[in-house]
Every structure is written in C-alpha cells, then in structure tokens.
C-alpha cells in the first residue's frame, strides 16, 4: 500500500492548454521496532549438608595396661543414600588400632571395627540424586580405667554431603527493545546463555522495565540471575522482561 498524490503538469503554451494528471506512488516509511532476546540456560544446582556426631566406645584390653601409647583410626566402607527429601543417611566403619604398654613394658596392639551411622540434612536433595560423601575423624580422646583393663574412647566425626539438583528449564529474557519513543530500564547480569557454538557464560544487559508507544503487552517473570557489581557472587531473584508484544498498526492509504 502506498500514499498517492496528484501532480498537475501544464504542457504547451498559447491559446490551448492541456492538463495532464499523473499519480505518483510514494511508499510510507515503516516504523521499525526491534526486540532482542537471549536464552538463559541455568546450571544444575549444588546442595551441601554437614553434620558432626560423637561415637563413644569402650574396649576391653587382652592384658592390663599401664598406659596407652596411641590410638589410630581410619574411616572405611562408606555408603550413603537419600532416604527422603532433604535427608541423607551415611553408614560406615571406624577401623581403629590401639597400642598399649603392658605391665611387662611390652608394647602390644589390638584392632577393632566400630560401625556408625550419620543422618545429614541436605535441603533440596531428593531420592535418586547422586551424592558425594566425606567423613573425617576430627579427634579421638581416650581414658584408661584404673585397673588398666578397659579403654574408653570418644571419637568425633565430621560428615559432609554434596549433591547436584536437576537444572531448571532454560528461560528467555529480553536484552534490548528499540523503536520510536521506547524507553527501557536494564541491569547488567552474568549468566550462561545458548549460543550457536554451545552454552557460554557472558555478561549482558537484561531489560527490567519498558514503556513507549505501540506496546500492547509486556510479559515479566521473576528469575534467578547473577547481578554484576552487587557484591554477591550468587544468583538472586530479579523481575525481568521476558517478552514484548507490539500492537499491529495497519498501513493507511491516502488517495488524491
């Protein structure tokens, strides 16, 4: 569709004049509006839980001891499973070696195997989630009975569980809106986005508010994004524009 106007042209001079009417088509200049988006691909979340327990144990020595030389321990046979949402049960053994000095001044050693269980709270973890578990012996303290026959031990264990939660669905964010009279507010973020070569972590602006002529609807959502320069390295909830829909304006035709 084009606008039309009438051009009058006079041909010839003298007694007779001829009026020629010609129509010229002049195209209207279109209004260009542009919305640029990026697809954010959130990574899988990492959840961690820690728990400390105290294991008390009394062992009977084969011979009376006048003193304890040393007690050594080693964690073995660790098993872990998510028993319900937010809870991981760890089972394992403490393999201990006790060295003691007998009444004859001879150093002897005995070994024992002590089972333990630890329940660790890990918010966000669910059954079936793969987990990584570490259990360390923080300290072993012991006391020898007056008759030298029994050794009482207090073992402090520290457990840590790390799991990976499923990655959230990718989501769209608007990074730029241009057009006559369009005004935007943006914030600079850092996030993994989909590119032609794969997922890459980049810094880019995200539109948080937009206004102007011709806008029919603005769609927003609260998403987790790492805001650059906020002093927090972790993603935070932020309301952003996810789409902008412009009203369709039909082209008008003016006829002479």
What pLDDT score does 166 carry? 81
Q: Which residues contact 196 (CB under 8 A, 6 or more apart)?
A: none
The residue length of the chain stands at 256
C-alpha 242: how far from chain center: 19
* Residues 185 and 160 both lie in one domain: no
Tell whether pTM > 0.75: no
Going 58 to 64 to 68 to 71, the CA torsion angle's sign is: negative
Whether 220 has a pLDDT exceeding 60, the answer reads: yes
Picking from 125, 145, 165, the residue at the C-terminal end of a domain is 165
* Residues 192 and 104 both lie in one domain: no
Specify if 143 maps to a domain. Answer: yes
Number of structural domains found in the chain: 2
Specify if 139 maps to a domain. Answer: yes
What pLDDT score does 20 carry? 59
Distance (Å, rounded) from C-alpha 157 to C-alpha 182? 61
* Residues 176 and 78 both lie in one domain: no
Distance spanning both ends of the chain, measured CA to CA: 14
pLDDT tens-digit map of 44-84: 888 999 999 999 999 999 999 999 999 999 999 999 999 99
CB contact at 8 A, 245 and 174:
no
Q: What are phi and psi of 63, to 5 degrees?
A: -140, 155
Distance (Å, rounded) from C-alpha 64 to C-alpha 219? 80
Picking from 135, 165, 195, the residue at the C-terminal end of a domain is 165
* Residues 56 and 153 both lie in one domain: yes
* Residues 195 and 151 both lie in one domain: no
pLDDT more than 70, % of the chain: 85
Specify if 155 maps to a domain. Answer: yes
* Residues 185 and 217 both lie in one domain: yes
Specify if 95 maps to a domain. Answer: yes
* Residues 101 and 185 both lie in one domain: no
Find the radius of gyration of the CA atoms of the chain.
39
Distance (Å, rounded) from C-alpha 97 to C-alpha 71? 6
Range 210-232 average pLDDT = 94
C-alpha 161: how far from chain center: 18
Domain holding 113, by residue range, is 45-165
* Residues 124 and 147 both lie in one domain: yes
* Residues 39 and 49 both lie in one domain: no
């Amino acid at each position: 569709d084009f606008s039309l106007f009438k051009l009058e042209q006079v041909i010839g001079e003298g007694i007779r004049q001829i009026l020629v009417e010609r129509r010229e088509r002049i195209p209207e200049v279109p209004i260009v509006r542009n919305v640029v988006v990026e697809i954010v691909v959130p990574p899988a979340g990492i959840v961690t839980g820690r728990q400390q327990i105290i294991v008390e144990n009394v062992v009977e020595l084969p011979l009376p001891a006048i003193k304890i030389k040393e007690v050594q321990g080693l964690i073995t046979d660790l098993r872990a499973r998510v028993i319900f949402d937010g809870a991981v049960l760890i089972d394992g053994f403490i393999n201990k070696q006790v060295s003691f000095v007998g009444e004859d001044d001879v150093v002897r050693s005995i070994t024992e195997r002590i089972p333990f269980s630890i329940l660790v709270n890990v918010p966000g973890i669910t059954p079936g989630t793969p987990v990584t578990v570490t259990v360390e012996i923080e300290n072993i303290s012991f006391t020898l009975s007056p008759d030298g026959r029994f050794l009482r031990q207090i073992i402090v264990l520290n457990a840590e569980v790390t799991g990976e939660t499923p990655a959230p669905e990718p989501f769209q964010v608007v990074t730029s809106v241009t057009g006559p009279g369009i005004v935007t507010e943006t914030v600079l973020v850092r996030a993994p986005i989909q590119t032609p070569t794969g997922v890459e972590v980049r810094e880019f602006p995200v539109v948080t508010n937009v206004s102007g002529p011709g806008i029919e609807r603005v769609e927003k959502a609260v998403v987790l994004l790492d805001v650059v320069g906020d002093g927090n390295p972790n993603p935070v909830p932020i309301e952003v524009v996810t789409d902008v829909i412009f009203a369709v304006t039909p082209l008008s035709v003016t006829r002479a």
